[in-house]
A and B are shown apart, each in its own frame.
Chain A
Amino acid sequence: MSSLVGFLSLVFAIGINFYLFLSRYIFKFQKQKFNLFIRFSSLLTLLSFFSLMYAYVVSDFSNYNVFQNSHSNKPLIYKISGTWGNHEGSMLLWLCILSIFSFFFSFTKNIEDNFQKLTLIIQAFLHILFGLFIVFTSNPFLVNSILVNEGLGLNPILQDPGLAVHPPILYAGYVGYSIVFSIAIAGLFQNTDDEWLYVAKKWSLISWTFLTGGIALGSYWAYYELGWGGWWFWDPVENISLMPWIAGLALVHSLMMVRGEQAIKKWIVFLSILCFSLSVFGTFLVRSGILTSVHSFAADASRGIFILLIFFIITGFGFLVFLLKEPKKSNTLNLLFINKVSALVINNILMIIATLTILLGTIYPIIIEVLYNKRISVGGPYFNSTVIPIMIPGFLLMSIAPILSWQTNKINNSKKYVLAFIILSVLVILQSYFLDFNTWGFVGLLLGFWIILASIIAIFSSYKIKINIKFLKIINPHIAHIGVGIAIIGITCSSVFQNELDFNLNEGDKFNVNGKTVLFEKIETTNEINFQSLRGKFLFDIEKDQSKEIEAGKNYYPVSKMITSEAGILHQWNKDIYFILGDQKNNEWFVKVLINPFVSFIWLGVIIMMYSGLIAVSRR
């Protein structure tokens, strides 16, 4: 029953969007009526999504999708997240978020009616494309042809609280760019005043913030669930989320800087189209099964071709409009040797080069396989040695960009900065001299600290310190950059200064980690609702009264016959001690301990960046 409701409301929603799309040419509408229709179709799409969720919650195995991906003895949260833990459901989530964005956009005030309408018509067009994709190739409401009373279960690796919320947030980022895309295209068509830039800024900030959160959640999940001790692997799936993120970053900065310059406006339109294109491209790569990863649920060529077509239509349409309709002529670019505009331009160029470098590395294996029928994989070494050096000058520039002037080459208080930089360099040199020297470590630390220091100096020397919301808004760009600085320090330390220790242990053995004695207490196996767990219990720092207990081990999921590793992590502010329980051999357990310094800084930096994103949304 719920499947029928879901399917009908989905089809009905697509129908309404089709009607709205035609309204541009055939039936003319009043604004109110038009908005009412848009909201109604959004609610229908939501209804469709919630019917599927309901089927999951009550374990309605007459729905084929639920049967394939759920199991009645799963905890409720994973029944809910099971809704998007599969290809069909996740595409419905995609569509649902698209609708939600249209819904909220229809409430935007202070913009021209025609412009708003056109934006929503483009949204309706996107809704139709993805809606048809779902109906024809990925219908989550198919009825199960056999009568069953139990389902096949959700991929155990996805049964994790972090991963339950990761897809909706990430999608909110990806799909949020659809609004930015629609706004940019509508802006090109209408070619009116610059009002659309402010609207676009708000929405691109929202999308970017969500995307940041989604990527961070995914990588935090990889950190503690995959049990490899790292949090970023340059996996194709990570890369395709990073590309719209970097392009989105360039877009946000351009939008903040624009003062009516024609060249930048053109560039903004380009970036808006690019961001959404990259999002759709990512969806294509993951959903077509061209890439194998935990994200590709099923490989099906017809789906791949359909979504490739969607990608082609959207991107082709976007860039074609861009080619044919140029933004209205206005001010020219005020480029000086070093002012805000030139810093922005340089930074944008760097970000685009970085994006293209990642794009090349990601699609290169596909090209090679088509041309030479050979499989290669492009991994960490390529990206580390190309993307990072490209970004470094950008980071340097970023530390001083907010204090540059618009009109002149002058930097206020330049002496202070030079002095601070010299002192900092000496300190970092001393640090690397007395501890272990590593070029990347040196560069990373210097950059990270410099960005933080320069931002702090800028805050103190340029503004009167007050504690109120207005002040927080004014210094927001500096805060965002401090977040980046903190994240850079975390990234540098955790990757360059990571320490690995291997042990072969019996229960009851004591061993030494970082000068602290650790006791390998015992191995414990228990039966949980939907898995069996094997845990090694460790007591960290037993000489102290408050020794900490760490559990590391594995889960075995009988329904899907899969084993997942569960790393045991002791979080401290300055380092994570990361325990991995390996296999048992000759009655000894293999235990790997990784010491990851300053990992918490990465998450802290990300949280600061997201905070800044949100503050910036409210700032005009």
Chain B
Amino acid sequence: MNKIFILTPLIVLLIICIFSLVYLLSGKDPNKPPSALLNKDVPIFESSSLYNAKDIIKTKDIKNKKTLINFFASWCSPCKIEHPLFFEISKKYPELYLLGFNHKDPTSDAKKYLEDDGNPYDFVGVDSDGLIALEFGVFGLPETYLINEDGKIIYKFMGPITMDILKNEIEPLL
């Protein structure tokens, strides 16, 4: 009885270590929480274009084409870092639809940002109140989603995408 009592800490230690090890080895990253939306349908959204308020995009508009959705803002400095990569993506995969959502940004700032750094998106939707981001479960900017032809989210990344991530995680899905 006494021995079992003294053994308990060792058993607890073992359990903690095993779980931590599995966590570390499985390549889980605090920046990449498992998304509840993965393999689910794209949330229903409706947004007007940054350049023309009458130009509206809806969920059904991105059916039947592969779409990369990127949430960005002019005030978000990591967004600036990943920005050039989208030009590369759009050059390499012209058939991929690039949809940018401008998150909680004054229109003038957003336009200036895309003027200065260039506009890689096929469509820039306005998400001024952040409701669309809420539907997508955005944690923080930037965030990128890949949607397949059936309108299912097949990939999600939090934070700025890098060349590595593009090569190893996104491109195999394209």
Residues of A within 8 A of B (CB): 270, 273-274, 277, 281, 284, 288-292, 296, 299, 301, 304-305, 308, 311-312, 315-316, 319-320, 322-323, 363, 366-367, 369-370, 373-375, 561
Contact = CB atoms under 8 A, between A and B. Distances in A.
B6 A311 contact: no
Nearest to B28: A369
A315 B8 CA distance: 12
Contacts of B130: none
B31 interface: yes
Contact of B13 (A270, A288, A290, A316): A316
A301 B31 CA distance: 13
Nearest to B76: A561
User: Taking each of B10, B25, B77, which has the highest tally of chain A beta carbons within 10 Å of its own beta carbon?
Assistant: B10
B30 A290 contact: yes
B30 A322 contact: no
A308 B24 CA distance: 10
Contacts of B24: 288, 290, 301, 304-305, 308
Given A289-B30, A299-B31, A369-B34, A319 B20 contact: no
Given A292-B30, A299-B30, A561-B77, A370 B22 contact: yes
Nearest to B34: A373
A421 to B, nearest CB: 37
Given A290-B30, A301-B25, A323 B17 contact: no
Contact of A369 (B9, B16, B21, B23): B23
B164 to A, nearest CB: 15
A305 B21 CA distance: 7
A273 B10 CA distance: 12
A274 B9 contact: yes
A299 B34 contact: no
Nearest to A285: B20
Given A284-B20, A299-B31, 17 more contacts: A273-B9, A289-B29, A289-B30, A292-B30, A299-B29, A301-B25, A301-B27, A308-B20, A308-B21, A308-B24, A312-B13, A323-B6, A363-B16, A370-B19, A370-B23, A373-B34, A375-B34
28 contacts: A288-B24, A289-B29, A289-B30, A290-B23, A290-B24, A292-B31, A296-B30, A301-B25, A304-B24, A305-B25, A308-B17, A308-B21, A311-B17, A312-B13, A319-B6, A323-B3, A323-B6, A323-B7, A323-B10, A363-B19, A366-B23, A367-B19, A370-B19, A370-B22, A370-B23, A370-B26, A373-B34, A561-B77
A426 B28 CA distance: 55
B33 A375 contact: yes
Contacts of A291: 30
Contacts, number: 71
Contacts of A308: 17, 20-21, 24
Query: By DSSP majority rule, is chain A's interface helix, strand, loop, or mixed?
Result: helix
Most buried by B among A277, A311, A367: A367
A315 B13 contact: yes
Contacts of B26: 370
Contact of B9 (A290, A292, A304, A319): A319
Contacts of A319: 6, 9-10, 13
Contacts of B17: 308, 311-312
Q: Report the 9 A-B pairs with minimum CB-CB distance, sorted nearest first.
A: A561-B77, A292-B30, A375-B33, A304-B24, A319-B9, A373-B34, A319-B10, A370-B22, A312-B17
B28 to A, nearest CB: 6
A316 B23 contact: no
Contact of B6 (A301, A322, A366): A322
Nearest to B15: A367
Interface residues of B, number: 25
A482 B36 CA distance: 49
B56 to A, nearest CB: 26
A322 B16 CA distance: 19
Contacts of B28: 369
Contacts of A323: 3, 6-7, 10
Contacts of A374: 34, 36
Contacts of B3: 323
Contacts of B36: 374
Contacts of B16: 281, 363
Contacts of B30: 289-292, 296, 299
A564 to B, nearest CB: 14
A375 B27 CA distance: 14
Nearest to A314: B13
A61 B6 CA distance: 51
Contacts of B13: 277, 312, 315-316, 319
Contacts of A304: 20, 24
A436 B7 CA distance: 50
Interface in B27-46: 27-31, 33-34, 36
Nearest to A273: B9
A243 to B, nearest CB: 12
Contacts of B29: 289, 299
A307 to B, nearest CB: 10
A366 B34 contact: no
Contacts of B6: 319, 322-323
Contacts of A301: 24-25, 27
B9 A366 contact: no
A296 B30 CA distance: 10
Interface in B69-85: 77
A270 B9 contact: yes
Contacts of A370: 19, 22-23, 26
Nearest to A371: B19
Interface centre among B10, B24, B26 (most CB of A within 10 A): B24
A370 B19 CA distance: 7
B10 A320 contact: yes
Contacts of B19: 363, 366-367, 370
A200 to B, nearest CB: 19
A150 to B, nearest CB: 17
A278 to B, nearest CB: 11
Contacts of B33: 375
A301 B32 CA distance: 14
Contacts of B27: 301
A303 to B, nearest CB: 9
A601 B69 CA distance: 51
Nearest to B22: A370
B151 to A, nearest CB: 23
A305 B18 CA distance: 11
Interface centre among A301, A311, A374 (most CB of B within 10 A): A301
A301 to B, nearest CB: 5
A493 B164 CA distance: 51
Contacts of A273: 9
A160 B88 CA distance: 41
A375 to B, nearest CB: 4
B80 to A, nearest CB: 9
Contact of B20 (A292, A366, A373, A561): A366
Contacts of A290: 20, 23-24, 30
Q: For A296, A373, A375, A561, which residue has the most chain B Cβ atoms within 10 angstroms?
A: A375
Nearest to B35: A375
